[in-house]
Chains A and B, each alone.
Chain A
C-alpha cells in the first residue's frame, strides 16, 4: 500500500483546486488509482464534501456523525443508500450522478488513509475531558 499526499490548495481557483485534488489522492494500486482520482474530483464537484468534509470524516451536525472515509458498506449497499436515501441526505439520482461516478467516489473513499488511533495523538489524550 502506497500513499501519496499533497496539500489541498483552496485559495486558488476551483479548476486549479480540482487538479490539485486529483494530484493529491492516496492510491492503493494502479487499477484503483484511476477511479479514485476521478472519484476525488466527483466528490468535490457533486458536493459530497459539503456534509462529509473533504476527507470523509463527516460531522455530527451534517452527517449525523457518520464517517464515510473507508466506508465498511459494500459498493452495492453504498450505491443503494446514495440513490434511495430517505434520511437527512438527499438522494442522488443517475441523472445527476452516474453509476460510473458513484463507483469512482466509492474507490476514492476506500483509498483514504486509515485514521490514527486516538492513543497515538497526544493532544487527544491530555487535552480533552476525562470520564
Chain B
C-alpha cells in the first residue's frame, strides 16, 4: 500500500499540461533524454508481473474499487465539455453505446454538461449492438449517429458491425476511448484495455480514422470525420479519444478554440464523356437491362430510376440492398433478364461479376465452377462510387469484372445527366420499338406475379408454417399503416419483395452489407428508433440465430421505448450451415451425421428449443408464442400490432419451415 500511495502522490504532484507533455516527450525523444519531468526514476521494474498473468487482487481492486483521486479537478473546462460543444453542432440525435471507463470523461460531459440531449445516450449491452443501431438508424432516416466504444475490447466487440457498415456503405461515427499515456493511466485493467493505436483494429474497413492530441485537433477531426463519412461512398469512420484529452482542463493561454463549420460535399459524378457513351449504347440497345443495388441513397433516387427506365422501356433488376425501384412497376423484373441483354448498366452494384456470371457450388472437385450469364458481346456499363474507395485486405470488392464503360462516381448524382443524355440519344425511329419492348415486359411482369402467387399457395396450411404464409399474414396486419420493413435477417425466400407492394424508399432497408450474422436485431432496433421519430411503423422478420448473437438489444428497445414488431422466422437452425454440411457430406459420399437433431451436428438450434417469446418478455417486451398452427398466426400478429402502436416493442415467435 505504501508503494501505491507514493505513486499516487507523485502523479498528483506533477502538474503537466498534456500538450506540454507531448512536446516534452518529443524533445526528450529527439535529445535522448528519457526523463522529462526531472523526477527520480522509481525502481519499480522488479515489481512488475508478466503481462500474461490474469489480474491479481491489486489489479482487480483497481477495476472494481473506488477510483483514486484525480490529479486535478475543477480547474477550468474539461476537454470533453468542449467535445460535446463540437458534437452538438452536427445534429446528432443519439449515442447508442455500451458504457466503458476509457470514455468516462466524455460520457459524463454528454449526460451532465450536454444535458443528455442532442445527442441522447442510449444504453446498449454490446458494442456490436451500438454500431448496428447506428447502421439501421441511418438507413431509416438518412442521418448518421455516433457511438462510443471501450478502447480495445469494446472495439473488438464492435468490429463485425463496423465491417457490415463498411460493406453496406453506411456512415457511422465511432469513437473509442483509449489511455495513451502509459505513465499516467491506471494500471491493471485500464492498461490491458489500452493500445498504441486502437484504430488499427478497424482501419481496413473504415473510410478514415484519427487520434487527436488537442481539443482543437478534436474539433477539426470530428467535423472532418463527419464530412468524410457522409460523402458518397458513405462509410464508417473511427476516432481514438485519449483519456487524458477528455479529462484534463482546457489550457487557458489565450488561444481561442473554434468549431469548424460543416458544409456537405457534393457527391462525385460520372465523367461527362462516359455518360454520353453510356447513353448512346443504351439508346441503341435492343434489349437493355438496368441492374441496381445501392443506387437510391434518397427517395429522389427512386424517382430518377423510374424516369430512366421508362425513357428506355428497359427492365430493372433491383438487387435489393436499398429500395431502388417500386416492385409494382411493370418494368420491375427478376435477375434472369440479364441473360438476353445486349447492354447491361449496373449502378452501385456490390458484385458486378456475380451479376453477369454465376457460380455453381457443385464441381467435380468440390470447389465449384463458374458460368457466364450474359453473351460475350454484351456491353457492360457501370456507375459506382465504390470504385473511388477500394482497400486491399478484406475482399468485399468481389471478383474483377471487365467493364466497357466504367464511371467511378455516385450513381444517384449521375442519373440526371444520364437521363438527359439518353433523351438526346434516342432517335425518333427507335421510339416505337421501345414501346413494343415495354408492352412485352408488362405482360411478363403480370405472368411473373401469377406464378409467384401459385408458389406462395403451396404448403399454405403446413406446419411448421411456410415462409410465404408468415410473410403474407404479417402484411395483412400492417398494410394500412405507414410501414417500414426494417430488416429481414435469415432467409424467407424474398417473399416480402415478391408479394408486398414496396413503393416507398423507407419501406425496404436492405440487408447487412457484409452478411455478418447478428445484424438483424440491433439494426432493426436502430431503424425503429429513427422510424419512431418519423412516424413510420417498424416491422422486422427476425431470425433465430441472428437474435442470439446479442439479444440484449431487446432490453435496449424496451428501456428506451422503441416501438418495433419483430416476427420470428424461427427455423431452429443455422440454416445456411445446415445446407453446407449436407453439401460436403454429399461431395464425400457420406451420410450426414444428424445426431439427435434434424440437421447435421453443430448446425441445429434445438433440443432444447429457445423460447424467444420468454426471452423477449424477460427484457420488457410484449411477446407471444410459439405459434405452431398457421391459423393462430394472424390473430397473434394483430395483438402485437396493437401493442407496437401504443409505443412498445412486441415479438411473435413463429415456428417456420427452413426457407
Q: Decide yes or no whether A11 CB sits under 8 A from chain B.
A: yes
B contacts, CB < 8 Å to A: 327-328, 330, 360-362, 445-446, 449-450, 453-464, 466-468, 472-473, 475-476, 479, 491, 493-494, 498-502, 572, 575, 578-579, 582-583, 585-587, 589-592, 594-600, 606-607, 609, 626, 628-629, 655, 657-659
When the two chains form their complex, are residues A90 and B583 in contact, meaning their CB atoms are under 8 A apart? yes
Give bound CA distance, A123 to B475, whole Å.
Answer: 9
Given contact pairs A14-B597, A130-B501, A62 touches B659 in the complex (Cβ within 8 A): yes
Q: Which residue of the partner chain, among A10, A55, A128, contacts B453 with CB atoms under 8 Å?
A: A128
Grouping DSSP codes into helix (H, G, I), strand (E, B) and loop, the A interface class, with mixed when no group exceeds half, is loop
* Beta-carbon nearest neighbor of A120 in chain B: B457
User: Are the CB atoms of A59 and B467 closer together than 8 Å?
Assistant: yes
Complex: A117 Cα to B587 Cα, angstroms = 38
Check B360 against A54 for contact (C-beta < 8 Å): no
**B592 CB contacts on chain A under 8 angstroms:** 46-47
Contact B362 A129 (CB under 8 A): no
Cβ–Cβ contact A87 & B362, under 8 A: yes
CB distance from B634 to the nearest CB of A (A): 8
Cα A127 to Cα B477 in complex, Å, equals 9
Chain A CB within 10 Å — which of B330, B467, B493, B587 has the most?
A: B493
Q: Give CA–CA (A77, B81) in the complex, Å.
A: 74
Give 24 pairs: A residue, B residue, CB < 8 Å, sorted on A. Answer: A11-B655, A14-B607, A17-B598, A46-B592, A50-B578, A51-B659, A53-B466, A53-B657, A54-B658, A58-B455, A58-B458, A59-B491, A60-B498, A85-B362, A86-B360, A87-B360, A87-B362, A90-B362, A93-B589, A96-B585, A96-B590, A127-B472, A127-B476, A129-B502
A14 with B626: CB separation less than 8 A: no
Beta-carbon contact of A57 and B360 below 8 Å: no
User: How many Å lie between the Cα of A47 and that of B584 in the bound state?
Assistant: 12
A62-B579, A118-B453, A127-B479 known; A13 vs B459 contact (CB < 8 Å): no
Which residue of the partner chain A has the closest CB to B475? A127
A41-57: CB near B (< 8 Å → 1, else 0) gives 00011110111011111
User: Which residues from chain B contact A91 at a C-beta distance below 8 Å?
Assistant: 362, 586
In angstroms, Cα B464 to Cα A107, docked, is: 21
Which of A86, A115, A123, A128 gathers the greatest number of chain B CB atoms within 10 Å? Answer: A128
Closest CB-CB distance, B43 to chain A, in whole Å? 66
Which of B454, B455, B501, B597 has the most chain A CB atoms closer than 10 A to its own CB?
B455
When distances are taken between beta carbons in the complex, the residues of chain A under 8 Å from B600 are: 47
4 nearest A-B residue pairs (beta carbon): A55-B459, A90-B586, A59-B659, A129-B501
* Contact among A49, A69, A128 for B472, CB-based, below 8 A: A128
**Residues of chain B with a CB closer than 8 A to A14's CB:** 594-598, 607
**Which of B453, B491, B586 interacts with A96 by CB under 8 Å?**
B586
Residues of B within 8 A of A58 (CB): 455, 458
What residues of chain B lie closer than 8 Å to A2, measured between beta carbons? none
Assess the A121–B583 pair: CB atoms within 8 A: no
Interchain CB contact (< 8 A) of A117 among B457, B462, B491, B579: B457
B501 and A10 form a contact (CB under 8 A): no
Please report the C-alpha to C-alpha distance between residue A54 and residue B466 in the assembled complex, in whole angstroms. Answer: 9
Bound Cα distance A117, B458 (Å): 9
Q: How far is the CA of A79 from the CA of B491 in the complex (A)?
A: 29
Contacting residue for B457 out of A45, A46, A60, A124, CB 8 A: A124
Cβ–Cβ contact A90 & B587, under 8 A:
yes
B-contact bits for A95-117, CB 8 A (1 contact / 0 none): 11000000000000000000111
User: What is the CA–CA distance of A7 and B607 in the complex, to the nearest angstrom?
Assistant: 18
* Cα–Cα distance between A126 and B578 once the two chains are bound (Å): 35
Q: Would you call A10 and B598 a contact (CB within 8 A)? A: yes
A95-B589, A128-B499 known; A118 and B457 CB under 8 Å? yes
A28, CB-defined interface residue at 8 Å: no
B459/A115 in contact, CB under 8 A: yes
B445 and A131 form a contact (CB under 8 A): yes
Closest Cβ neighbor of B591 among chain A residues: A96
Q: Do the beta carbons of B463 and A8 come within 8 Å of each other?
A: yes
Nearest residue, chain A, Cβ from B327: A129
- B606→A10 contact, CB < 8 A: yes
Q: Is the CB of A45 within 8 A of B594?
A: yes
Give the residue name and chain of the B residue nearest to A60 (CB). B493
**Bound-state Cα–Cα, A127 to B475, Å:** 7
List chain A residues, Cβ under 8 A from B657. Answer: 53-55, 57
Q: Report yes or no: A53 in contact with B582, Cβ–Cβ below 8 A.
A: no
Whether A123 contacts B476 in the complex (CB less than 8 A), given A8-B464, A45-B594, A50-B579, comes out as yes
Q: Check A61/B579 contact, CB under 8 A, given A88-B361, A118-B453, A121-B457.
A: no
Give the complex CA separation of A13 and B599 in angstroms. 12
Excluding A47-B578, A59-B467, 11 further A-B contacts by CB distance (< 8 Å) are A11-B655, A47-B579, A47-B594, A53-B459, A60-B494, A96-B590, A115-B457, A115-B460, A118-B457, A129-B499, A130-B501
Interface membership of A65, Cβ < 8 A: yes
- A15 interfacial by beta-carbon distance below 8 Å: yes
Asked whether, in the complex, the Cβ of B599 is within 8 Å of the Cβ of A47, the reply is yes
